[in-house]
Structure 1
């Protein structure tokens, strides 16, 4: 036994690659990782989106051309991914701003705010998916 475990202090160790499968990240941790992923998606694709917007606004013909491209189901999935990334990043960003002001930083409040972010961003993305795929 090591000296730290004899003294009643917790013993910390690094997580190995094989431990990652069994490791359970709390909901707030999952939210934080998704916040980073959604921010990266928005950052990387924003120049391409602005380029497409610029080209679609050149004329009515170019607009109709891009409208036809956007009608494909795979392009709609990409659009839905971008919409989810924006909604999730926006909602999680508000949560992080509140936490920067020392609101909701304890464990229970952080868990509750993580649930709220998912409860707001996922149904909004679902509604947009229904509209995007023509359900209503």
Structure 2
């Protein structure tokens, strides 16, 4: 095949690589956070299952886990894990509602994303009260 008579034009598109100027809609941010919270929950679950297994192995194992969990930094991480789990559950319920055909429009999707973030904020505060 020959290229006779065909002109190849390259479209000149503006490229914005400055991430500080890109504004995502709240529904997109909510979706991205749902994925991130899922990854955090996956890795946290592995660590928490290891701690549970170690604590149930013997009395010394239990005391070692108590020593590991005794500290502000670890409790802060536990609060973060609970917050990620809460957001993943709330975001998952939001996605299930959307799968049923509700809140699929632009305005209602943005509102449901804001509601999910608000509910997660309340659950995060409750988790913080429980942890400390």
Q: Which residue of 2 aligns with 1:99?
A: 98
Change (3 A) 1:15 1:131: farther
* Unaligned segments of structure 1, at least 5 residues: 1-12
Q: 1:21 to 1:93 in 2, by over 3 A?
A: same
TM-score (norm 1): 0.80
Residue in 1 aligned with 2:9? none
Question: What SS does structure 1 have at the residue aligned with 2:81?
Answer: helix
**Could you say what the CA RMSD is over the residues aligned between the two structures, in angstroms?**
1.6
Residue of structure 2 in register with 1:118 after alignment: 117
Cα distance in 2 for residues equivalent to 1:69 and 1:78: 12
Q: 1:61 is matched with which residue?
A: 60
Q: Using the TM superposition, give the Cα deviation of residue 59 of structure 1 relative to its aligned residue in structure 2, in angstroms.
A: 2.9
Q: Deviations over 1:68-106 (max 9, x none)?
A: 321211111111111011000000000001111111101
CA apart distance, 1:15: 4.6
TM-score of the superposed pair, with normalisation by structure 2: 0.82
For the residues of structure 2 that align with 1:14 and 1:38, how far apart are their CA atoms?
Answer: 32
Aligned residue-pair number: 120
Structure with greater Cα Rg: 2
Deviation at 1:123, TM superposition (A): 1.2
How do residues 2-41 of structure 1 correspond to structure 2 at under 5 angstroms? 13=13, 15-18=15-18, 20-41=19-40
How far apart, CA to CA, are the structure 1 residues paired with 2:100 and 2:15?
32
Distance 1:51 1:132 in 2: 20
Q: Distance in 2 between matches of 1:111 and 1:102?
A: 15
